[in-house]
Amino acid sequence: METDGNSLTFIALFLPFVAAALAPALTRRMGHKAAWVLAIVPAFLFIHFASLVGTVASGEAVTGSRNWVPSLGVEFSWFLDGLSLTFALLITGIGTFIVLYSGGYLKGHAHLGRFFSFILMFMGAMQGLVISDSFLMFFVFWELTSITSFLLIGFDHSREASRRSAMQALIVTGMGGLALLAGLLVIWNATGATSLSALLETDNALRESALYGLAFVLILGGAFTKSAQFPFHFWLPNAMEAPTPVSAYLHSATMVKAGVYLLMRLNPVMGDTALWETVLPLFGGVTLLVGGFLAVRQSDLKLMLAYTTVASLGLLVMLTGFGSEHAIEAAVLYLIAHSLFKGALFMVAGIIDHEAGSRDVTRLGGLRKAMPITFGAALVAAISMGGLPPLFGFLAKEEIYYALGFASVWSALFTLVAILGNALMFAIGFAVALKPFLGPEVKTPNHAHEGPPLLWLGPVVLAGASLLAALVSPLTHRLFSIPMASAVAGEPLDIYISLIPSIGMPLLLSLVTVALGYAIYRTLGDVRARVGAALIAIGWGPDRGFDQVLRGIVRGAHRLTGLIQNGRMETYMTLTFAVIALAFLVPLVGAGEMPAFPQLPVLTLYEIVVLALAVIGLGAVLYADDRLTAIVSLGIQGFAVALIFLLFGAPDLGFTQFMVETLSVVILALVMTRLKLAKSDHRPTREKALDVTVASLCGLGLMLALFKVTSLTFDPALSVFFTEYSRVIAHGRNIVNVILVDYRGVDTMGEIAVVMAAGLAILALVRVRLGRRVEHAEPQVASESRETVA
Amino acid sequence: MKTLILRTIAPYLSALMMIFSVFVLLRGHNDPGGGFIGGLLAASAFAIYGIASGVASARRAMRFHPMAIAGSGLAMSVLAGLASILFGVPFMTGLWAPPIPGIEFELSSVLFFDIGVYLVVLGAITSVALALEERDDE
């Protein structure tokens, strides 16, 4: 572990964000050619990560950290093992070509600079996600990918469909993010680990913890929403509203694999339980089939690919949860293969759309002459997707069938699911790669011709990588697949699979898959119509469900607000005071800590007089005929209390009480005159009785609490401290004031901010009423404060 | 207000209360008083002046909008707290000027903080009170 590499990784974490900040200015100067400059950043990151491959392949992890919030023990730390490194290489490698492709695809777009900025930000977030070590960092980057994905899907924000899809993706993945946060907290609680690397060393702690079930559900909530597992898959096809580079990058090659990454990362500490090995394959299998069938239904190139991405993610989750070593190896191989071929195919779909002007597979054909390079790349990628030799996809599929087999009913079931899913993807892959290019030439909206290198470079390189990786498979395995699979399994694994097919069950199953896939491909139009009819018969799907849930939430919130915020002052006051009464009484009664009635002290004459004053004030409030008298009487009671404060040695308190009472009487009186209420209270007895009850309970509660407090022995520690130090270290003899402005100055600062905010709010409310009244123009003159301004 | 007595005496009363409020503010650190109570006193002074001589004259007498006074008070308190940064000590640490011989009064950042409190209370309450005193036909 070299320190040099560490600090470079630290820089690498921020570099994409720096590039994102510079992108708009650069694009303004250079136009779409800025892509060539901006692509240097991911290319550089790719080279940096590639330089670590040797270290990681030898079984070591590259780690490093910086202090972040030392007082809270939060570190900014990263952790690169086989799993994260392979992901980082995919993200930066594909990212390089995506940046170039974006330059070609959105050439001349008014907001190209903004687009570059968003996509680089996303790259930084995604890269951070896979190499973070501390939970907090991981979560922050996780959410950042959701947010940048929102920005990218909604890039074309003038269209309503874009906005809806962006919101939907954000809500679904954002909810999942919250579940993930809760899950990480639960894991932290169960194991004490605050970072992934520490967690991986805890061995069985999480599995044996009582919190395992809870952690499992929450983590799955995060992973399944992000990786579009059924029934949360609907946001991913909708995300195709984004420009094609985004679909190729976020919604096939990288971001949607974050959930799979999370599951793979946690497999060593959470896997190998009955729960894990049941739930994951089931959800994954269902997602695989749902995605496959829905893909067949589509005729839009991007949507066909999007649903096969859903299917592929299902396959990955299924394999990750299946539990055998071969299944993990298969998942790893398929993940790499999928990122390469799906990224390439998406870019091909984008090129076709860009050059021919349509993405509808039924309206395209015969483009092979006009776009030979694109056709070549598409064909190679589709062969990989179909799992045919000599591409990397073939290795992945062979390994899948090795892993599943027919050992038990359970695995046989998933073998069948995998065959059907793979056959569907085979058909779609070739439909995307062949149908637009073969057959008679069809008249397309644009006169089709080959795109510029910026466009075809990406698919060609990715398709080439699929081929190369398979040709030198022993090297690929040694450098990438084996370290990654070992990290996922938590123990060293070995992968031997190569292009030379061994005669046996897997090969046979591959042949069945291909035959079935070919059959579906030939009858695609027919199958499409049938699946379409079936879906119309079902009618209702999670996408509509999402809308209904949202509407339900809005309606529920509206109703709830109407209930608790009905705009009637009386309701608010009654509720507030009822809660105060309960807050006093419930703990006292509930804990059985009712105070004994204290012995009454012997009062001196002047004390009795003051108390009598307070009682007279209160009595006057109750019996006053009009409101103004009641308010003033309340002031009498307040003054009596102030006198008590003075008598018992709290001059500050007494002083303040005098002022507060005076001002509240003045302000209350002013409010009364403004509100133009009836002079006296004419409510029915029933309503008054409720108020009396609440008020009495409040008084009773406060009294009991005071009895309780005064019956305890007084702890003079604070008084002694302040008396002793107030003068010495705070230069003041008035302890109350010293506490207010010095010891607890920050509190006071908060309080005066509240005073000011409350003042502003009251002012606004008074003005609102004033405005309304002026409109109605009812000149009413309150006699006692008639103005005399000339 | 129509009573001649109050209208005649109010300016003197208010002025007296204002002086007293400053006195209370400044003595606060050693004797009963302080920014909060001083602010309340000053607010009552303006309230009385407003009731007796009219809101417009009260506003003229204040020169600034009471909310602006409250805002500057809040800013002053925050700045008094931030001053400690210049001396490399934690936020809100009290800073004390060296005592001047013969004068009992000590200058400090805490005092400015307290003046800020005074201004916030004065401004916020006065603005509410004056707004309520204002009649519709003004």
pLDDT computed for residue A787 by the predictor: 36
* Least confident segment among A99-103, A444-448, B43-47: A444-448
Residue of A672, A737, A744 to mutate, interface with B, max B Cβ within 10 Å: A737
Does A223 have pLDDT greater than 80? yes
Residues of chain B contacting residue A733, judged by C-beta atoms under 8 Å apart: 29-31
* Rounded (10°) angle between helices A82-105 and A482-489: 120
Residues of chain A contacting residue B28, judged by C-beta atoms under 8 Å apart: 734, 737, 741
What is the distance between the alpha carbons of residues A98 and B94, in angstroms, rounded to a whole number?
57
Rounded to a whole number, what is the distance in Å from the CA of B88 to chain A's nearest CA? 17
What is the distance between the alpha carbons of residues B126 and B58, in angstroms, rounded to a whole number?
10
Percent pLDDT > 90 in chain A is 39
Amino acid identity, residue A690?
L
Rounded to a whole number, what is the distance in Å from the CA of B30 to chain A's nearest CA? 4
Residues of chain A contacting residue B110, judged by C-beta atoms under 8 Å apart: 730-732, 741-742, 745
Question: Which has the closest alpha carbon to A244: A382, A103, A38, A452?
Answer: A103
- Nearest by CB to B30, which of A733, A752, A753? A733
pLDDT computed for residue A776 by the predictor: 46
- Concatenating the DSSP letter of every residue in A6-38 gives HHHHHHHHHHHHHHHHHHHHHHHHHGGGHHHHH
Question: Which has the closest alpha carbon to B36: A658, A697, A153, A691?
Answer: A658
Percent pLDDT > 70 in chain B is 96
Rounded to a whole number, what is the distance in Å from the CA of A735 to chain B's nearest CA? 8
Contact A740 B36 (CB under 8 A): yes
Amino acid identity, residue A465?
A
pLDDT band at A5 (very low <50, low <70, confident <90, very high): low
State yes or no: cis peptide before A390, omega within 30 of 0: yes
- Nearest by CB to B81, which of A663, A745, A759? A745
Residues of chain A contacting residue B56, judged by C-beta atoms under 8 Å apart: 789
Assembly ipTM: 0.92
**Tens of pLDDT, residues A674-720:** 777 777 777 888 888 998 999 999 999 999 999 888 888 888 888 88
Please report which residue ranges of A565-647 form alpha helices under DSSP H: 569-590, 605-623, 627-647
Does A316 have pLDDT greater than 60? yes
How confident is the model over A499-504, as a mean pLDDT? 76
- Contact call for residues A175 and A225 (beta carbons, < 8 A): yes
Q: Which residue in B has a C-alpha nearest to residue A659's C-alpha?
A: B40
pLDDT computed for residue A2 by the predictor: 43
Give the count of alpha carbons within 13 A of B23, CB side only.
Answer: 6
DSSP tag of A478: I
The C-alpha R_g of chain A, in whole angstroms, comes to 36
How confident is the model over A86-101, as a mean pLDDT? 93
Q: Which residue in A has a C-alpha nearest to residue B67's C-alpha?
A: A760
pLDDT computed for residue A769 by the predictor: 59
How confident is the model over A532-547, as a mean pLDDT? 82
Q: Which of residues 617-656 of A touch B (CB under 8 A)?
A: 651-652, 655-656
CB count within 10 Å of CB A403 equals: 23
Contact B108 A731 (CB under 8 A): yes
Question: Which has the closest alpha carbon to A239: A354, A184, A161, A344?
Answer: A161
Contact B2 A786 (CB under 8 A): yes
Amino acid identity, residue A727?
R
Size of interface A-B (CB pairs under 8 A): 166
Q: Which residue in A has a C-alpha nearest to residue B96's C-alpha?
A: A731
Structure tokens belonging to residue A44 = 């550089």
pLDDT band at A786 (very low <50, low <70, confident <90, very high): very low
Residues of chain A contacting residue B57, judged by C-beta atoms under 8 Å apart: 789
Please report which residue ranges of chain B form alpha helices under DSSP H: 4-27, 35-53, 55-62, 66-86, 109-133
**Contacts for A446 with CB less than 8 Å, ≥ 6 apart:** A355, A356, A357
CB count within 10 Å of CB B67 equals: 18
- Nearest by CB to A734, which of B31, B43, B47? B31
What is the distance between the alpha carbons of residues A429 and A346, in angstroms, rounded to a whole number?
11
- Contact call for residues A274 and A322 (beta carbons, < 8 A): no
What is the distance between the alpha carbons of residues A369 and A391, in angstroms, rounded to a whole number?
24
How confident is the model over A738-746, as a mean pLDDT? 87
Rounded to a whole number, what is the distance in Å from the CA of A654 to chain B's nearest CA? 10
3-state secondary structure of A69: strand
Contact A759 B133 (CB under 8 A): no
Residues of chain B contacting residue A761, judged by C-beta atoms under 8 Å apart: none
Compute the C-alpha angle B31/B33/B35, nearest 5°: 135
| Largest separation between any pair of C-alpha atoms in chain B | 58
Residue of B20, B24, B37 to mutate, interface with A, max A Cβ within 10 Å: B37
How confident is the model over B37-55, as a mean pLDDT? 91
Partners of A132 in the β-ladder: A78
How confident is the model over A531-556, as a mean pLDDT? 85
Does B2 have pLDDT greater than 70? no
pLDDT computed for residue A494 by the predictor: 84
How confident is the model over B33-45, as a mean pLDDT? 92
Contact B132 A671 (CB under 8 A): yes
- Nearest by CB to A734, which of B32, B43, B71? B32
Contact A734 B28 (CB under 8 A): yes
Question: Which has the closest alpha carbon to A367: A433, A437, A443?
Answer: A437
Rounded to a whole number, what is the distance in Å from the CA of A250 to chain B's nearest CA? 45
What is the distance between the alpha carbons of residues B99 and B101, in angstroms, rounded to a whole number?
6
What is the distance between the alpha carbons of residues A354 and A451, in angstroms, rounded to a whole number?
8
Contact A741 B132 (CB under 8 A): no
Contact B124 A759 (CB under 8 A): yes
* Rounded (10°) angle between helices A3-30 and A112-131: 170
What is the distance between the alpha carbons of residues A593 and A528, in angstroms, rounded to a whole number?
73
pLDDT computed for residue B90 by the predictor: 82
Does A57 have pLDDT greater than 70? yes
Give buried/exposed letters for A416-426 (b at 16+ CB in 10 A, else e): ebbbbbbbbbb
Structure tokens belonging to residue A146 = 């959701």
Does A307 have pLDDT greater than 80? yes
- Contact call for residues A137 and A149 (beta carbons, < 8 A): no
Q: Is residue A749 less than 8 Å (CB to CB) from chain B?
A: yes
CB count within 10 Å of CB B101 equals: 5
How confident is the model over A483-496, as a mean pLDDT? 86
pLDDT computed for residue A752 by the predictor: 94
**Tens of pLDDT, residues A359-373:** 888 888 888 888 889
Contact B32 A785 (CB under 8 A): no
**Contacts for A648 with CB less than 8 Å, ≥ 6 apart:** none
Listed by start position, the domains of chain B span 4-133
What is the distance between the alpha carbons of residues B114 and B33, in angstroms, rounded to a whole number?
11
CB count within 10 Å of CB A577 equals: 15
Does A468 have pLDDT greater than 70? yes
Percent pLDDT > 70 in chain A is 96
pLDDT computed for residue A496 by the predictor: 81
pLDDT band at A94 (very low <50, low <70, confident <90, very high): very high
How confident is the model over A396-419, as a mean pLDDT? 86
Which H or E run contains A435? none
| Backbone φ, ψ for residue A656 (5° rounding) | -60, -40
Does A788 have pLDDT greater than 50? no
What is the distance between the alpha carbons of residues A674 and A785, in angstroms, rounded to a whole number?
11
Q: Is residue A753 less than 8 Å (CB to CB) from chain B?
A: yes
Contact A785 B51 (CB under 8 A): yes
Overall size of chain A counted in residues: 790
**Tens of pLDDT, residues A135-181:** 999 999 999 999 999 999 999 889 988 999 999 999 999 999 999 99
Contact B81 A656 (CB under 8 A): no
Calculate the average pLDDT of chain A.
87
Rounded to a whole number, what is the distance in Å from the CA of B74 to chain A's nearest CA? 7
Does A293 have pLDDT greater than 80? yes
- Nearest by CB to B36, which of A656, A662, A787? A656
Q: Which residue in B has a C-alpha nearest to residue A747's C-alpha?
A: B92
Does A317 have pLDDT greater than 90? yes
What is the distance between the alpha carbons of residues A227 and A412, in angstroms, rounded to a whole number?
25
- Tokens 């009484």 label which residue? A585
Does A772 have pLDDT greater than 70? no
How confident is the model over A576-584, as a mean pLDDT? 94
How confident is the model over A200-222, as a mean pLDDT? 90
Structure tokens belonging to residue A310 = 């859903």
3-state secondary structure of A76: strand
- Nearest by CB to A787, which of B41, B81, B138? B138
Q: Which residue in A has a C-alpha nearest to residue B3's C-alpha?
A: A784
What is the distance between the alpha carbons of residues A654 and A664, in angstroms, rounded to a whole number?
15
What is the distance between the alpha carbons of residues A197 and A64, in angstroms, rounded to a whole number?
11
Rounded to a whole number, what is the distance in Å from the CA of A756 to chain B's nearest CA? 6
Q: Is residue A670 less than 8 Å (CB to CB) from chain B?
A: yes
**Tens of pLDDT, residues B95-119:** 888 877 777 777 888 899 999 999 9
pLDDT band at A780 (very low <50, low <70, confident <90, very high): very low
Compute the C-alpha angle A127/A132/A137, nearest 5°: 105
Residue of B17, B27, B117 to mutate, interface with A, max A Cβ within 10 Å: B117
Query: What separation in angstroms does the CA of A739 have from each of B99, B107, B112?
Result: 22, 18, 15
Does A17 have pLDDT greater than 60? yes
Pairing of strands A62-69, A74-80: antiparallel
Does A770 have pLDDT greater than 90? no
Residues of chain B contacting residue A781, judged by C-beta atoms under 8 Å apart: 135, 137
Question: Which has the closest alpha carbon to B81: B123, B59, B109, B103?
Answer: B109
**Contacts for A104 with CB less than 8 Å, ≥ 6 apart:** A32, A35, A354, A451, A452, A453, A454, A455
Listed by start position, the domains of chain A span 273-522, 719-790
CB count within 10 Å of CB A164 equals: 16
Does A790 have pLDDT greater than 80? no
